[in-house]
Structure 1
């Protein structure tokens, strides 16, 4: 069993015969006082501080920022992990002070979606629960508000079993203390992960990367559809919605001349309306494609008229739809709208 670093901290303190309140002090210094390194935690005995620094390194956060770029509402940080692999995290900030974070769950991705730059990299390894949550910890220690977190960076979250340990850390009231409703998981359709989320974290928001309502085309664009066909994924999503009674997001990247026709819009409308009494809980996000030169097949973004026509068809069928903002990534497929409008 792999313990989170917070559990290891507790065990270190116990193993050195310090009283339990020392762990409480340590957690308070991290999450209330935002102290970023162990040597600066002067309320702790020097022997304990030295042991923690020796065990974890000087910094509480185990990720090393390599590059940082800011553009408009998006701040992108490229982190280097201890083995040299790199992942990207995006901080989105809004005029009212709301901050959202788009995090990665894997180094690369092995599912090969044709339009995704991360898929072109291939899968290198899963991130640990600490590496996933350290993306948030880095910003938290720098004084940022952690209003919402979306798993829409590099990788398929449900392909990484460490995801659920990360969710436990993020929602632990003694640590990050995030409400489940402030977290969104985006999946390309891994049914076992959807079912586990429904069971273990029913209040976490779920977003399904759809991108085509047609089985054959979706299999061409997203090979995962051959393993988990769209109709079976929709059944799993129906069960999730029926159990949670919460809105479910269908992410639809608009690819010029590929999936943006009126025929596609009508087929998507039919797919949602066929959910029957549950259809009102399905919401479509139309996301302009962020072009990249890292994929073998080249795609372009749909033009404004095509996106508007697509949206109008969905609206005419009384389907909840929004045209979302685009936040691109040089590494991954990019973070779309991070559902920051989901509030408790």
Structure 2
């Protein structure tokens, strides 16, 4: 599928304009940070009018309609051209680093029990433009794009358009992002992991594991029945061996469900001894964040229990980190996106 930038280039060529004009458009977008054609004043007025007639007033395909901010998190609800809604989160670290958690689908059809987004069900895949426009929106407001995580709404690798979006984000003429500053999270779609490893080997890969036991994982995450842990870990092994790239293991801690010493020992046995390169597996422990629309059976872990689970993994030699939780109070944390809107109804306009 063509992106808006492909269509712009084709339009310029069809009009008989030189490639210099296309470069001027890109300069206006990515250097002058202008998305409205009538503000691209380096272009002749007649050209601006033709571009506006063909592509509309603005390049952005989504519209911000609601915004919540709290300290280190900034969550925006976007409306798409078909009136569907998605959410994007900007995370601001104390060092000044700005990271973006973006969506790849409207809703999600995989039904993970602990995820508010999954309760919505699958509405549709986002286009490549709708994916990258989440970043373009913030970029045009002069926010630095230090890193991007495909950890918002949806399962990124279930949407083929993610590969087009990754090409756009890393294109030197466009966003010019290093693939090493992009992370793709997956629940374990084996063929798509293999494709990502082949086409974008430098993109960071996160596998959402959440239970080291197949039976329990299948209950929490039905995808495990199609792609069990053994199959997923084998393809991750191959990725590590070929590219020598770290793979992150996301593990949402659900008190009384997956945080026992038995779970810790099983997780250790899964990741240790896989080969001389197994040190490239890195476990990220994530505090569960109760959300509107999510199952009420799970609670946020207490510090003592979380610390105990962490310590067991660390003492066994695993690389492990407790991920910082941003935006819990505005439901911008893992698994919470869109739940508030979906339950409570129509929001107000962005100011």
TM-score normalised over the length of structure 1: 0.94
Residue equivalent to 1:82: 81
Residue equivalent to 1:342: none
Report 1:1-344 matches (<5 A).
Answer: 2-296=1-295, 298-327=297-326, 328=328, 329=331, 333-334=335-336
Check the 8 A contact 1:152/1:185 in 2, yes or no.
yes
TM-score normalised over the length of structure 2: 0.93
CA distance in structure 2 between the partners assigned to 1:74 and 1:261 by the alignment: 31
Check the 8 A contact 2:325/2:333 in 1, yes or no.
no
CA distance in structure 1 between the partners assigned to 2:220 and 2:296 by the alignment: 10
Question: Offset at 1:271?
Answer: 0.5
**Over 6 Å off, 4+ runs:** none
CA distance in structure 1 between the partners assigned to 2:304 and 2:258 by the alignment: 14
CA distance in structure 1 between the partners assigned to 2:302 and 2:95 by the alignment: 30
Check the 8 A contact 2:207/2:249 in 1, yes or no.
yes
Question: Offset at 1:9?
Answer: 0.6
Question: Offset at 1:94?
Answer: 1.8
Cα deviation 1:75-126 (Å, max 9, x = unaligned): 0011000000110000011222211111000000000000001110000000
CA distance in structure 2 between the partners assigned to 1:132 and 1:220 by the alignment: 30
RMSD: 1.3
Give the count of matched residue pairs.
Answer: 334
CA distance in structure 1 between the partners assigned to 2:318 and 2:334 by the alignment: 29
Q: Secondary structure at the match of 1:276?
A: coil
CA distance in structure 2 between the partners assigned to 1:226 and 1:31 by the alignment: 44
CA distance in structure 2 between the partners assigned to 1:63 and 1:332 by the alignment: 23
Residue equivalent to 1:341: none
Distance 1:190 1:114, change over 3 A: same
CA distance in structure 2 between the partners assigned to 1:104 and 1:174 by the alignment: 23
**Structure 2 portions without partners, runs of 5+:** 338-351
Cα deviation 1:32-86 (Å, max 9, x = unaligned): 1111311011111222212222222212222100111111111001100000011
